[in-house]
Amino acid sequence: MTAWQKALEEGDPLGAAELSFAAYAGGDRDAETADFAFKAQCGTGRFEEALEILAETPTAAQSTSSFVSLLNMIAMTGATELVEKYGLFPVMEANEGTHPGISEFGVRIAAQCLRRRPDHAEARLFLHTVFPKLIAGADWNLLRCVLVPVSDADRQLMVNRIDGAFGGVPYPLVPELARFSSTAVDNLCGPDILTRPMEAVFLPQTIVWRIANGAAHMQVAEDRPASLTPPVLNRERIAANVRALQRAARDFVSTARDYPFDRYEGFGDGVLGSGAPVIVLSTGRVGTMAMEALLKRSDGLLPFHAFNLHVETGDQNAILYKLISEDPGSFERDIESILRYRFSEFAYCRAAGKIPVIVNHLDTVLAPILMGAFPDARLIRMHRAPEKTLLSLAYKNQFGYRQLRHLKSRFDKDTGEFVFRRDRSLTIEQECAWYMYVTDLLADIYRTELARPGRFLDLDMEQVFGLAAGAIRHLSDFLDDPAITPETCRDVFSQRINEKSFYTFDPVRGDLARLAAELEKAYTALEGEGGFG
């Protein structure tokens, strides 16, 4: 028995991890040591060390959950240079059938690689390999990822295959393709989208990728000296910046003369005039996928959940940290990007005679921009028990840089550069408490500063999941949709909606009371100090 195996048997997993690293570095390359060292490096967050093991011992990728965690980290942080440095695409392809997460994160990584380098042969090959499986599983989120960065010829081929499989292009992909232009980068699909039948969008056309935000948002290396400071939340300052952001968006729309921005004023008539967009405010992991599944049963509502595919890493945190800042600078570039990429969904809903419901938690930060364009928008603050939210966030590893992170950062309002790095001094309970507190704070500011009377709903998803008739009736009345009933909810929620939901994560439920106490302690500190110092 090796030293690391003995430590593991004696109940010291961290000691076993360190001993396995030492054994591997000392030349012990047997499969069992390599496998455990790889898993231990992933489990302790030393991903580049794990990649070095993987490059020397590819069979270590058969530690499937650890390999998926590794791919998740790369997809979350956009660290595609690691994929090329360590030759991960062949490893992903070889193990693709062993775990759905390899396809999921592999597709996202391949899409990121192609956005940075359109001629990336390995990324293109991987997307073509998994594409038939995505069609078979009707995986709309990953199909969107595939269709965006590929070449025009590949995209047309893929759209034709989707058309052949479904007898037409399904509506979840229509807004995605409608974001792109048949004539120029700055058009989406032509001003006549409001009157053309939607199937006409899929005439042969050149679809062009456009990065959502041109400002440079970057993660600084841990060992690089930089004048990065932790955030401090001041409600009055944030409220003033939120009002300024909404006014700037309103002014932008009222003076815009270029398509599609000139169309926002016209959305005051017709479908969107009597039913402006509904925006869900949440941390995520509170039932947004379940809400999307529920609202798809509606004849008058159409939910969207995939906008984050168009927002580069760091963008929403850059907007958040502008709102926190004493001197946020100009919001015009943010406004232009967000309204451009949301427009096709609004236009599609108008053409379909439906009201858009934006369930993506990213829009918690973007809501003031949308409320500048649609002052009559409705807001739903969705939440659930904090300790359950934490477990679900942790289980999905949803503390990547696409979330509302507690970051040490520097923001240059003149250049638009937002430089940040993770604050490693925080516990996961503090990270989650920050996420929840920022969401609660923004939601309350929107309620008091932006929302018109009767246009804000506080929705406890624990009650909705519990089929409480009162909570479901309030939701039905707020959305003016009698189809939302306890019976419909029971039917929807009885199906497995999200494999990564808290409800599939049984082993740690016994710790809920401890987690709740830790979260309350961290949340209370934020209420008193506005930050963790």
From residue 436, alpha-carbon distances to 156, 235, 285, 322, 476 in Å are 42, 15, 11, 19, 26
Q: What is the pLDDT of residue 15?
A: 77
Q: What is the pLDDT of residue 190?
A: 38
With CA atoms as reference, report the closest residue to 171 among 146, 150, 143.
Answer: 143
**CATH 1.25.40 given to domain 3-169:** yes
DSSP-derived letter for residue 451 is P
Any idea which fold 217-529 has? Rossmann fold (3.40.50)
Could you report how far apart the first and last alpha carbons of the chain are, in Å? 46
Give the phi and the psi of residue 157 in degrees, each rounded to 5.
-60, -45
Q: Where are the domains of the chain?
A: 3-169, 217-529
Tell me the whole-structure pTM to 2 decimals.
0.68
Q: Measured between alpha carbons, how far is 281 from 358 in angstroms, rounded to an integer?
A: 9
With CA atoms as reference, report the closest residue to 310 among 390, 213, 173.
Answer: 213
Which residue bears the tokens 């939701």? 475
DSSP-derived letter for residue 362 is T
130 within 8 A of 106, measured Cβ to Cβ: yes
Q: What is the pLDDT of residue 463?
A: 96
Q: What is the pLDDT of residue 415?
A: 66
Q: What is the pLDDT of residue 2?
A: 84
Q: What is the pLDDT of residue 420?
A: 75
DSSP string covering 153-180: HHHHHHHHHHHHHHTS--GGGHHHHHTS
Output the tens digit of pLDDT for each of the chain's 533 residues.
788 888 877 777 777 778 887 888 888 777 788 888 877 777 666 777 778 887 777 766 566 777 887 787 777 666 788 888 888 898 888 888 778 788 888 888 898 888 788 889 999 999 998 999 888 888 877 887 788 778 777 887 888 888 888 877 776 676 666 555 332 223 333 344 433 333 333 322 222 222 333 334 455 544 454 578 899 999 999 999 999 999 999 999 989 887 778 778 777 654 444 558 999 999 988 998 899 999 989 989 988 876 554 555 456 778 888 899 988 888 887 888 788 777 777 777 776 778 989 998 878 999 999 999 999 999 999 999 998 888 777 666 565 545 677 888 887 666 667 777 777 788 778 888 999 999 999 999 999 999 999 999 999 999 999 999 999 999 999 999 999 999 999 999 988 766 554 443 344 444 678 888 888 999 999 998 888 86
Give the three-class secondary structure for 405. Answer: coil
Q: What is the pLDDT of residue 3?
A: 85
195 within 8 A of 494, measured Cβ to Cβ: no
498 within 8 A of 289, measured Cβ to Cβ: yes
DSSP-derived letter for residue 379 is E
Q: Is 26 exposed, middle or buried (0-12, 13-18, 19+ CB in 10 A)?
A: exposed
With CA atoms as reference, report the closest residue to 401 among 220, 147, 194.
Answer: 220
Long-range Cβ contact pairs of 81-84 (< 8 A, separation 24 or more): 82/47, 82/48, 82/51, 83/109, 83/113, 84/113
Question: Residue 248 has which token pair?
Answer: 């700037």
Q: Measured between alpha carbons, how far is 46 from 44 in angstroms, rounded to an integer?
A: 6
Q: What is the pLDDT of residue 484?
A: 96
228 within 8 A of 419, measured Cβ to Cβ: yes
- The bridge status of strand 418-422 relative to strand 407-411 is antiparallel
Q: Measured between alpha carbons, how far is 58 from 468 in angstroms, rounded to an integer?
A: 51
Q: Is 460 exposed, middle or buried (0-12, 13-18, 19+ CB in 10 A)?
A: middle
User: Would you tell me how many other CB atoms lie within 10 Å of the CB of residue 493?
Assistant: 18
Q: What is the pLDDT of residue 271?
A: 44
Q: What is the pLDDT of residue 306?
A: 60
Q: What is the pLDDT of residue 25?
A: 80
Give the three-class secondary structure for 479. Answer: helix
From residue 419, alpha-carbon distances to 241, 408, 411, 412, 517 in Å are 20, 9, 6, 9, 33
Q: Measured between alpha carbons, how far is 384 from 509 in angstroms, rounded to an integer?
A: 15
